[in-house]
Amino acid sequence: MSFGRLERPQSAHPISEINVTPLVDVMLVLVVIFILTAPLLTSAIKLDLPQSAAAKPVQAPVALTIVVDRAGQTFLADQAVTPERLAQQLRQTAQANPDTELRLRADALVPYGRIVEVMGMAHQAGLHRIGFVAEPGALAKP
């Protein structure tokens, strides 16, 4: 029996190596980002276009907005119009510019038949580009 110090096992030496796992993780994330963004960067073609006196800038399409409220009343340029007056205005617009776009804003509770009537008037007048204006948002649950 000896009295004195107990022997201790040799302590572990400090690790002097660099842990490369976080480095590899970061590099893989960067590679994925470059793979995803590379096609987007190559699709933009930069050109130095020649100049010509005959070239005219394309004018923005003319748009006409028709509003149908909940009661079925029709408005053109924020003024109430009768169906006859609406048909006349649509014919005049089509004669002036047949590429005019008709933007139809209708309340959600307007009957489908009323919308079809307005679309029919536009079609008979010669306006064939009709768009429906809606509010962005979540889909209604059934």
**CA distance linking residue 121 with residue 127, whole number of Å:** 9
Number of domains in the chain: 1
Whether residue 119 is contained in a domain is answered as: yes
| Residues 103-117: tens digit of each pLDDT | 888 888 888 899 999
Q: How many CB atoms lie within 10 A of CB 47?
A: 5
Whether residue 13 is contained in a domain is answered as: no
Report the share of the chain in percent with pLDDT over 90: 30
Greater confidence (53 vs 91) lies with 91
| Residues 48-76: tens digit of each pLDDT | 555 666 656 556 568 888 988 888 889 98
CATH of the domain at 75: 3.30.420.270
Domain that holds residue 89: 63-132
Amino acid identity, position 128: H
pLDDT of residue 50: 58
Whether residue 26 is contained in a domain is answered as: no
